[in-house]
Amino acid sequence: MFAGIIQGLGKVERLSVAKGNGKAARMTVDLGRLSRGLKIGDSVSINGACLTVVGIKNSSASFEMVGETMKKTALGSLTIGDKVNIEQSLRVGDTIDGHFVLGHVDGVGIIAEKLKQKNQTKLWIRIDKKLMKYVVPKGSIAIDGISLTVVDVTKDKISIALIPHTLAATTLGIKGKGDKVNVEMDLLGKYARKVLTGKD
């Protein structure tokens, strides 16, 4: 469980994708100071995907990703040297400043527009129409693991407003039009739809 509050940026050091239909992969990320106290078996959110630490060396941690993770997320499009958003899992007593984020990515979105305005940057993201049923204006959504508030909603796109701090502290500051992002819909929205309609 995570809160969607990014604690720092890591850098991809190695990424190897297995051959065959499974497309499993192994990735090593330099976590810097966020590697302190980390143990094998711990969960870490990498761009919003909950991954398990399978190896640690100095400040770098290794993660294995199964085929389903590679299929559902944009992690397969990362390259060596890319920066990624890092958040360690919540612990009892931690403050939750964002919203409950499971790290179970629902799909991949595409940045359609990045509009710089006076005190904010407005980001338009194209999302699979099957996921749009969970989106409501002013509702929560996790984009690359970042807890954000939805501003506008169309048939296949949403907009979010980013303050300068978010741009400076996360990968959304360096991503642009055409880039892929991991999308996780709000858990409460999923349950509300299930209860009210009987449908997933």
Task: Tell which residue, 155, 114, 118, has the closest CA to residue 143.
Answer: 114
- Mean pLDDT calculated for residue range 37-64: 97
The average confidence (pLDDT) of the chain is: 92
Handedness of CA 106, 167, 46, 8 (dihedral sign): negative
Residue 83 has pLDDT above 90, yes or no: yes
- Mean pLDDT calculated for residue range 64-77: 92
Residue 52 phi, psi dihedral angles, 5° rounding: -100, 135
Contact criterion met (CB below 8 Å) for 128 and 185: no
Structural domains for the chain: 8-88 (2.40.30.20), 107-197 (2.40.30.20)
What 3-state DSSP class applies to 2?
A: strand
Q: What's the pLDDT at 98?
A: 80
Q: How many CB atoms lie within 10 A of CB 95?
A: 8
